[in-house]
Structure 1
Amino acid sequence: MSEPTYDYIICGAGTAGCLMANRLSADPGKRVLLIEAGGKDDYHWIHIPVGYLYCIGNPRTDWLFYTDEDPGLNGRRLRYPRGKVLGGCSSINGMIYMRGQARDYDHWGALGNPGWSWRECLPAFMKHEDFYKGADEFHASPGHDLTGRREGGEWRVEKQRLHWDVLDAFAQAAQQAGIPHSEDFNRGDNEGVGYFQVNQKMGTRWNASRGFLRPALDRDNLQVWTGAHISKLLTERTDAGLRVTGVEVLPLGGAGPMVARAAREVILCTGAVGTPQVLQLSGIGPGEVLRQHGIEVIHDLPGVGENLQDHLQIRSVYSVQGVKTLNTMANSWWGKALIGMEYVIKRSGPMSMAPSQLGAFTRSDAGRVHANIQYHVQPLSLDAFGEPLHGYDAFTASVCNLNPTSRGTVRIRTPHPNDAPSIRANYLSTEDDRRVAADSLRVTRRIVSQDAMRKYQPKEVKPGVQFQTDEELAKLAGDIGTTIFHPVGTAKMGPASDPMAVVDARLKVHGVQGLRVVDASIMPTITSGNTNSPTLMIAERAAQWIRDET
């Protein structure tokens, strides 16, 4: 069996993997292999923003995971999309550019992870940013020089190319309810209401493959394997201890396994679901779980697959009168034709829409010190993504708890790499999460009751005004809540003194040499907002550390 050797093997060509491949292959003296189980990002619906509707649930671009039945959701299972294509989740996500809050990163540092404060992370966000307004204290753009060096990079951030009266009215109502206006959610404190910034370029999706991987593909020292499923990591014991030496890969089409060797490091960028699965299949993880499936325990690391966190959104739907929404615009052939023509001619309008356009960050009750809930507001309504739009004009105000205290797990079901793992999110399993869910629905009602919305005669279709008590609203959240696709934390960062920590502050796996994890799984606690751009920041920092070490 041929066993080609590289300096670095990057597992997963998603958000983090694409950036890592770009940065590490920039040194022509280093040989880099990037391995992706999915295919190329040449599917046209990836790049048309509204195409997420055709990518989620599509085996061409999605792993098609589901959660286990969840007691907190009253026994329901949820579809759990994860990108299976070059660009990973950045090829199918909502395109929202969101860093979170400064306190998120300061908290990571306080947990025993030096180097992860907001002040230390901000330069890494800016290093790859291409901000449409140019550079300032918090943003960067190529060609702008603020500190004696070239600022900015490849990650395009733009304003949205659309306008909806119903969303403007919701924003005005939110301000009347005491939520301040915000022009920019990405300056360390995102409390406020305003339109989201998006990762698009002139009305098309800007994914990590376009931003980071494609510019590097002509480098002789970078090789990319697609359709290659990582089955396990290869390890050996040396006098210095356990070391990862390479990976075993199952190529597309059922061919026999292939092996690639890493002279320096294997870097897992396979995400909050994929990373614990690969580690466990390789014998690195909770010994009890591994033995249950007949896997030899190479390294008993209890935290692998634990600490799963996600943002659960509760979608309130309101019918409206006398204002345009996508429901009626897109429910006729003529409306669809107009929408299509606008996109072809101007690259604007509904086909350029991110899944959510208007955002708001506020507090679920007056006792909260920081904004702890987030709104994604949309000029449309449907039963679930992929289902038809409702036949009446309506908008949806989805609200999620930014800092859930519930914790779940990702664990293998079988010793076979092609079998999906068990995903137990354990949503709403704490009293605090149930209380925030009930209170957040009341905040939604307070916003919609303001004068700015009254001219459109909003009526609560879902969940329904008959639900009022804490108990009713918490149960209701379990009935209608759904993931907003932000799983993190399953290989959390922490000091060696933390028995559940998987990686150290430089993202090296505790007790294993030659192995690093660089993706959202390393977050000890979830960030206060969408998680794609924080994942890029994590990769930017890791790439710099790896270059510094060599």
Structure 2
Amino acid sequence: MLLQSVFLLCFAILTEARTHLGRTAQVIEARHLSNETTYDFIIAGGGIAGLTVADRLTENPNVTVLVIEYGPFDQREDGVMIPGAYFPVPYLWLPLMSTPQTALGGTSYGVPCGRVVGGGSVVNAMFFHRSDAELYNAWEELGATGWGWADLFPYFKKSETFTAPDANYAASHNITWDVSVHGFDGPVQASHAPYDYPGSANMYNGALKLGIQPALDPNNGRAQGIFRLLRSVDPKTQTRSSARINRYDRNAARPNYHILSNTAVSRILFANVTALGVEYIGTTSGEKHTVRASKEVIIAAGSVHTPQILQLSGIGDTGLLKSLGIETVSGLPGVGRNLQDHLVLKVNYNYTSNHFPNGGSLQSNATYATEQRALYDDGKASAFDLTGTTGNLMIQLPLSNWTNDSASIMSRAFSLSPSDVLGSDVDPSILAGYERQRAIVLKDINVEAVGGLSWNTGPETSIYMTRPLSRGSIKINSTSILDAPLIDYGALTDPTDLDMLYAMYMKNRELMATSDIAILGPIETAPAPGISNEQDIKEKIKATLQPSNAHQCCTAAMVPREDGGVVDPQNRVYGTFGLSVVDASTWPLVAGGGPQASVYAGAEKAADVIKKRHGLL
């Protein structure tokens, strides 16, 4: 029976995929595909967006889908699955570096993004939050019609299975939620950690003393105040709920759903402006092949590599393409522009009398770590239930709640023109779109959260600047997909971002000085201990911050073509047929907080858009 099954399996793979897919879902290999193999849909990129769309399309047994992913499958290592053992390095793009950052002294920085089946959901810190409703409404205002808060809300719910914490534990740890804004039968497991460090109470009470209000539920469209972090973790096993698990493994019996891993999509194949399929290359073998799509090619390679694939395929700025000898299929100067990310500033401390345990204890105390791992392995609440080195609480606020200086910060921001930030040698459509973005961001800056603060109760506070006005870019530097593109964060090219970071840093000083935290004796060691002069502190911030929190987005924006747009509100690439983009590169503006929940929801909606387009709903 085993030999017979193997024979039937090989026969199924080697035969035309569109009509003769096998009886078992396949992790397919390139050698099993011919240049004439055809699927209904080919998806370039097997991260959150790609696997979500593949999952929903293959719910129809008559639809065939091939996902091509640059990276491998993870091996369910502890560093992937167990929050407290968090170690994403094996599945990151390494080495991947930015260009020298002009506003940061010419320093180049790492570019963290997942290279694995499941993408960011395999390597992220597992936080699962939505942004303020105003953010999604701003997307719609910028031209992403049908992508406002009310439109996305049902897809947020559709994507998740929310499990409420134990009532007694929740009451004693200030955890609140609103069941009406959550889903209860979606693929992603969402839960709160059943363990906490004693210092969380100090942070919570300190925040209250500063007038920071608790949020009932940050997923209700108002992600502001202080709140307990929700995570994409299965509460039954306290293990990561990645897209690989919740969007592929659970459907492993679908014969119409194939994944080709360790393979790069090198370019899209066109007949005139109609996408016919893709060319792909083995990342180790270097062999090139093609595969065809009868309905649509869908790009979901992430905000760094989606624009790279588009540009290599002749979609982008015509001057850039011509300089590399690439024939233009659709001249879209917005491809690779509008890069946004969250800036991260770490503030470090020593203490005279901190609580034990705290957010650094797993790393600094082997006895405690061994004890906590034994509890975790026994299914009991443990520090290993928390993502390594993190805490449970987050503070997110609009600018006016971070500082009394918001009016002068906004005044300085309004004094800058788009060309002051982007330069004068930028296509007029890019400048026009950015001018609209600035107007909307500055309009909402005092009602929408612009940053977050999370103290891990131990050696580190993380400050996140989530509403940047600076913009970066992605540009190919060769005609090979195996060569990294030029990645320019454009960090702090708008000095308003540094003003906002400074405001958050100073608010953090206020928080650490409240009686509830001061009693622990925190002593800052970085970035600016003992410094009070604003300009000196800003220089220290510039020397310390990281320009990326692995939240890259917005490089194939869903805005009108005349505003530098790349895709329309139906995810279709302007000037082409049979080609769409479904990942975070389509966002006009970066989401606040962790982007994971927004990527899932956006992909859920995109799947319905694609189904409707092809009469599959």
TM-score (normalised: structure 2): 0.81
1:471 corresponds in structure 2 to 535
- Tell me how far apart the structure 2 counterparts of residues 295 and 351 of structure 1 sit (CA, whole Å): 50
Q: 1:98, 1:199 → 2: CA distance?
A: 9
Aligned to 2:43: 10
State how far apart, in whole Å, the 2-side matches of 1:182 and 1:64 are.
Answer: 39
Shift of 1:317: 1.4
1:365 aligns with 2:403: yes
Unaligned runs of 5+ in 1: 143-152, 380-393
Report how far residue 420 of structure 1 moved. Answer: 1.1
Does 2:559 correspond to 1:494? yes
1:17-75 CA deviation, whole Å, 9 max, x = no partner?
1111110011111111111111112241211123432x22x2x4545422222122222
Contact 2:162/2:183 (<8 A) preserved: yes
- Equivalent in 352, 361, 369 of residue 336 of structure 1: 369
Give the aligned partner of residue 139 of structure 1. Answer: 182
How many angstroms does 1:271 deviate by? Answer: 0.5
Residue number in structure 1 paired with 2:296: 265
What is the aligned partner in structure 1 of residue 336 from structure 2?
305
Q: Give the match's secondary structure for 2:568.
A: coil
Q: Counterpart amino acid of 1:32?
A: V
Q: 2:453 aligns with which of 360, 375, 387?
A: 375
Q: Is 2:308 the counterpart of 1:277?
A: yes
C-alpha distance in 1 between matches for 2:58 and 2:380: 34
- Identify the structure with the greater helix proportion: 2
1:504 equivalent in alignment to 2:504: no
Q: CA deviation at 1:412?
A: 1.2
Q: 1:399 to 1:136 in 2, by over 3 A?
A: same
Structural mapping, 1:152-301, within 5 Å? 153-202=186-235, 203-237=238-272, 242-301=273-332
The alignment status of 1:52 with 2:89, answered yes or no, reads: no
User: How far 1:532 moved relative to its partner?
Assistant: 1.1
Q: Contact 2:134–2:448 at 8 Å: present in 1 too?
A: no
Indicate how the Cα distance of structure 1 residues 338 and 547 shifts in structure 2: closer, same or farther if over 3 A, else same: same
The C-alpha deviation readout for 1:249-279, integer Å capped at 9, x for no partner, is 1124315211110111000010100100111
User: What displacement does 1:332 show?
Assistant: 4.0
RMSD: 1.8
In the alignment, what sits opposite 2:413?
none
Deviates more, 1:247-256 or 1:126-135: 126-135
Shift of residue 326 of structure 1?
Answer: 4.2
Structure 2 contact 46–69 (Cα < 8 Å) conserved: yes
SS in 2 for 1:346: coil
Matched to 1:215, the amino acid is R
Query: What amino acid does structure 2 have at the position aligned with 1:236?
Result: A
Other-structure match for 2:160: 129
Aligned-partner Cα distance in 2 for 1:187–1:462: 35
Judge conservation of contact 2:122–2:242 (CA < 8 Å) in 1.
yes
Contact 2:66 2:258 (C-alpha < 8 Å) held by counterparts:
yes
1:416-427 map, 5 Å = 416-427=480-491
Contact 1:12 1:35 in 2 (8 A): yes
Gaps in structure 2 of 5+ consecutive residues: 1-33, 165-176, 407-445
Distance 1:252 1:529, change over 3 A: same
CA distance in structure 1 between the aligned counterparts of 2:595 and 2:209, rounded to whole angstroms:
29
- The residue aligned with 1:104 is 135
In the alignment, residue 105 of structure 2 is paired with which amino acid? N
Deviation at 1:488, TM superposition (A): 0.6
Local SS of the residue matching 1:27: coil
CA deviation profile, 1:491-548 (whole Å, cap 9, x unmatched): 00012332x1000111110111111000010110111211111011110001011111
Question: What is the match of residue 87 of structure 1?
Answer: 118
* Largest Rg, 1 or 2: 2
Q: What CA distance in whole angstroms lies between the structure 2 residues aligned with 1:332 and 1:105?
A: 43
Report whether the alignment pairs 1:39 with 2:72. yes
2:597 maps to which residue? Answer: 533
Partner of 1:352: 385
Q: What secondary structure, in the 3-state scheme, does the structure 2 residue paired with 1:66 have?
A: coil
Which residue in the other structure is 1:150 paired with?
none
* Aligned-partner SS, 1:130: strand
Distance in 2, Cα, partners of 1:36 & 1:329: 34
Partner amino acid, structure 2, of 1:323: H
- The 5-angstrom pairing of residues 378-397 of structure 1 reads 378-379=456-457, 394-397=458-461
Contact 1:159 1:197 in 2 (8 A): yes
What are the superposed Cα offsets for residues 175-202 of structure 1, whole Å, 9 maximum, x if unpaired? 1111112242111111111220000013
Structure 1 runs (4+) greater than 4 angstroms displaced: none
Q: Which residue of 2 is the match for residue 455 of structure 1?
A: 519
Q: CA deviation at 1:141?
A: 0.6
Indicate how the Cα distance of structure 1 residues 459 and 332 shifts in structure 2: closer, same or farther if over 3 A, else same.
Answer: closer
- The aligned length equals 518
Q: What is the CA–CA distance in structure 2 between the aligned matches of 1:14 and 1:64, rounded to whole Å? A: 19
Distance in 2 separating the partners of 1:322 and 1:469: 28
- Judged with a 3 Å threshold, the aligned counterparts in structure 2 of structure 1 residues 439 and 255 are, in CA distance, closer, same or farther, namely closer
Q: 1:489 to 1:340 in 2, by over 3 A?
A: same
Task: Report the more deviating stretch, 423-432 or 251-260.
Answer: 251-260
Q: Distance in 2 between matches of 1:414 and 1:50?
A: 40
CA distance in 1, matches of 2:609, 2:304: 25
Q: What is the rounded CA distance, in whole Å, between the counterparts of 1:478 and 1:135 in structure 2?
A: 39
* Cα pair 2:228 2:393 within 8 Å, conserved: yes
- Tell me, yes or no, if structure 1 residue 546 matches structure 2 residue 577: no
| AA matched with 2:402 | S
Partners in 2 of 1:178 and 1:370 — Cα distance?
Answer: 17
1:135 offset after TM fit, Å? 7.9
Q: Quote the residue 1:433 is aligned against.
A: 497
Distance in 1, Cα, partners of 2:213 & 2:57? 42
SS, match of residue 100 in structure 1: coil
For 1:491, the aligned partner's letter is A
C-alpha distance in 2 between matches for 1:408 and 1:92: 23
Does structure 1 conserve the Cα–Cα contact (< 8 Å) formed by 2:197 and 2:359?
A: no
**Matches of 1:111 and 1:330, distance apart in 2:** 45
Measure the CA separation in 2 of the matches of 1:235 and 1:329: 53
CA distance in 2, matches of 1:342, 1:441: 36
Matched to 1:209, the amino acid is R
